[in-house]
Amino acid sequence: MTDRELMDCAQRARERSYSPYSHFRVGAALLTKSGKVYTGCNIENAAYTPTVCAERTAFFKAVSEGESEFEALAIVGGKEGKTSPFCAPCGVCRQVISEFCPPDFKILLGAPGAFRTYTLKMLLPYSFTSEDL
Ligand code: THU
């Protein structure tokens, strides 16, 4: 699976975004070390706070299926209809990623045709982890 293919998976997952309130549509694709891809989209709620981000949907699907070793995460998101989507993971999602992934974990952000590679450490420096407890 290439980085571009993982971005394409995130793009397709974005099509399933349920975001009638924000109209901000996000898709995520999480690649496991064994080569499986778990996708997720953001799922909003009329009561607002039950809303879950695309990244957490993908992680919770994977972890609940027994996965624990991850290779990379691709995120494609932006306001409905925008041609060049960009979405960086929110703080809560960064914390969830840090629970399951090492500092050098690869995160792809942007659009399938124009994306950049980051590491978890770049997006969440000085993180609080189980090591601190
Ligand atoms: N959202 C995500 O799915 N991922 C992020 O990292 C940022 C925000 C969603 C949550 C909500 O449905 C919408 O985007 C606007 O915040």
Per-residue pLDDT tens over the stretch 38-83: 999 999 999 999 999 999 999 999 999 999 999 999 999 999 988 7
Question: Which is catalytic among the residues 5, 55, 65, 69?
Answer: 55
- Burial of residue 47 (CB within 10 Å: 0-12, 13-18, 19+) is exposed
Q: Hey, what domains does the chain have and what are their CATH numbers?
A: 3-132 (3.40.140.10)
CB 130 within 8 A of CB 29: no
For 106, list phi and psi in degrees, rounded to 5: -85, 130
- The residue written with tokens 């209809």 in the block is 81
Maximum distance among all Cα pairs of the chain, rounded to whole angstroms: 44
List, chain by chain if needed, residues with CB within 6 Å of any ligand 1 atom. Answer: 19, 22, 24, 26, 42, 44, 51, 53-55, 77, 87, 89-90, 93
Per-residue pLDDT tens over the stretch 24-33: 999 999 999 9
Shortest-distance atom of ligand 1 to CA 53: 3
